[in-house]
Structure 1
Amino acid sequence: MLQSMTGYAARRAEGAGHDWAWEIRGVNGKGLDLRLRLPDWIAGLEPPLRAAVQGRVARGSIQVGLRVSAEGGAGALNLDEAAMGAALDALARVEAEALALGMTLAPSRAADIVTLRGVLTAEAPQADDAALRDALMADFGEVLDAFCAMRAAEGARLHAILSAQIDEIAALTEEAAQSAGARDAALRDRLRAQMARVMDNAYIVPSGLDAGRLEQELALLAVKSDVTEEFDRLRAHIAAARDLLASDAPVSRKLDFLCQEFMREANTLCSKSNDAALTRAGLALKTVIEQFREQVQNVE
């Protein structure tokens, strides 16, 4: 089944003395671009996370975020007395300079002083890295499952859209083939009439007119306007696209290549057309192929 490259999942859980929140976002990408935003104090978490995502996702721009905090709040607060002393000295000098200039400052509050950089610091939570890492990895499977389920659901919707577009391409191909058949019959009649006219007026054509050569030239014109091979290739591409849509493997690159081949044949039909009905069918075919190509860009 097709997978979309877009998806989202979030999850909160707790364990090993901590609580945490996961978030995974996925959007379209040319390849697999995996970016992790993890707490740097948990050692050894990134490699298994990367392996887990790469085992489930083949393409897309993926962002994995994790926030972890100790249960019951942050660690103990530490007052740096040296930093506090330096801050108080600085405040005293500022107040003295202001007083000398005749300025009166509002009294400083303790709450203002402890917010100065370095005066009051929080200890990093102490944790058993191995236990916390194991708990996080066990929980990550849940959020990754939810993320992949959303991509699969979106992929199912894309499958329905792409299948309908392939059906439309097939119908337009047969419509164009009927127009080409009617055109070929009219073209043969027109060429015969033109050749008869030329032969009837041979007296105004330079001597040496070769009726056999004229027939060859007219036959060559008919061959140049023949689009049988284009229809054969279009039908083959339609069958290949349907097989790819039924595949469980990532198929976006192959579908994108087929879109190019579809468009090549549709362009050739229009260039060889020389018929209003066939041209209309060819243009309609190009429109649906372009719509198909746009949807393919969302597939893994």
Structure 2
Amino acid sequence: MIKSMTGFSRVERVSGPYHFRVEVKSLNSKGLNITNQIPGYLSMKELEMNSILQEYVKRGKVHLRVQIKFLEPPKVLEIDKNIVQAYYSMLEDVVNTLSLPEPVKLSDLLMFRDVFRMELSDEEIENVWNHFVPIFREALEKLVEERRKEGERIAADLKKILKDLLAGVEKIEKHSDQIPILYREKLKEEVEKILPQDISVREDVLENHIAFISTKADIREEITRLKSHIKRALELIESDSSVGLNLDFLGQEMLRELNTILSKSISVDISNLALEGKVLVSQFREQVQNVE
């Protein structure tokens, strides 16, 4: 069954010495657009993270937010002694120049944030990553399930639209049998308006003209293609693959066939049914914009 492009999931888990909070939100998009809000030390894993995400999501604007708390103090904090020495020398110079009574204290040096350097070891990063991946996959599975549930609702709406559209096409097909009769009546009316009453038109000549015009106005091919597009759309709706773009293309093709029928039609009934069909196709395409 088709999936929606919209969804949200959140998973919070404690794994090893870490507390994870993973949120994944997806919205409509023409393609797959991923943005990540992750701790800096996981930036080296971002490509792997996106690769895993693409196993679950094929289309949509996806935002990933990851928060990690260390339940045990990691050995990540270092002091850059060279920078400390530079700040100390600068402050000592200020104290001496201004003859200040207070000497430079350690607390003065610790006010400068860049004297600290926080950097996880590769081993620690791998440990975080190995605990993170199962939780990340759980969040993605929940997202897919949410998108699938929304997809079921969209599928029901699309099937209803296609059912109504097919019913309209079948009515057009029934009315199309009357096209030669309509052309005969219209042509006779035009002939009577143009020619004097004492001049008659050979019936065989009139029938040949009617047959020629009716051939140009034949809409059987358009009806056949419309039915084929509707059938294919119903098949795609049952698919578990990413079919949103294919469904949108079919919607365009349905609209083209209905426009052709409108341009050929001299039947008010057929024209009205084709216009109703165009409304249904517009509704179909609007819903398809939400499909992965």
TM range (shorter): 0.7 to 0.9
User: Does 1:260 pair with 2:243?
Assistant: no
The letter for the 1-side match of 2:48 is P
Q: Which runs of 5+ in 2 are unaligned?
A: 92-106
Q: Secondary structure at the match of 1:238?
A: helix
Structure 1-normalised TM-score? 0.77
The answer to whether the 8 A contact 1:74-1:123 is kept is no
Give the C-alpha shift of residue 290 in structure 1: 0.6
Alpha-carbon distance change, 123 to 238 in structure 1, aligned in 2, over 3 angstroms: closer
2:61 is matched with 61
1:3 is matched with 3
1:160 is matched with 156
1:219 is matched with 211
The answer to whether the 8 A contact 1:32-1:60 is kept is yes
The answer to whether the 8 A contact 2:77-2:117 is kept is yes
Partners of 1:182 and 1:287 lie apart in 2 by: 24
User: Does 1:136 pair with 2:132?
Assistant: yes
Give the C-alpha shift of residue 17 in structure 1: 1.9
1:100 is matched with none
Map Cα deviations across residues 15-40 of structure 1 (whole Å, 9 max, x no partner): 33222211111111222222223222
Partners of 1:181 and 1:281 lie apart in 2 by: 15
Give the C-alpha shift of residue 226 in structure 1: 2.1
Q: CA RMSD in A?
A: 3.8
2:100 is matched with none
Alpha-carbon distance change, 46 to 211 in structure 1, aligned in 2, over 3 angstroms: same
Partners of 1:199 and 1:276 lie apart in 2 by: 27
Partners of 2:120 and 2:66 lie apart in 1 by: 17
The answer to whether the 8 A contact 1:234-1:265 is kept is yes
Alpha-carbon distance change, 179 to 211 in structure 1, aligned in 2, over 3 angstroms: closer
Give the C-alpha shift of residue 178 in structure 1: 3.1
Q: Secondary structure at the match of 2:41?
A: coil
Partners of 1:286 and 1:245 lie apart in 2 by: 20
The letter for the 1-side match of 2:264 is K
The letter for the 1-side match of 2:170 is E
1:292 is matched with 284
The answer to whether the 8 A contact 1:16-1:131 is kept is no
Partners of 1:222 and 1:76 lie apart in 2 by: 84
2:174 is matched with 178
Give the C-alpha shift of residue 56 in structure 1: 1.6
> What fraction of aligned residue pairs are identical, expressed as a percent?
28
User: Does 1:70 pair with 2:70?
Assistant: yes
The answer to whether the 8 A contact 2:248-2:285 is kept is yes
Map Cα deviations across residues 86-120 of structure 1 (whole Å, 9 max, x no partner): 999x99xxxxxxxxxxxxxxxxxxx9997675588
1:35 is matched with 35
Map Cα deviations across residues 170-198 of structure 1 (whole Å, 9 max, x no partner): 11112223333345433334445656887
Partners of 1:56 and 1:123 lie apart in 2 by: 32
The answer to whether the 8 A contact 2:18-2:69 is kept is yes
Give the C-alpha shift of residue 285 in structure 1: 0.5
Which residues of 2 match residues 267-282 of structure 1 at below 5 A? 267-282=259-274
Give the C-alpha shift of residue 266 in structure 1: 0.7
- 44-53 or 264-273: bigger deviation: 44-53
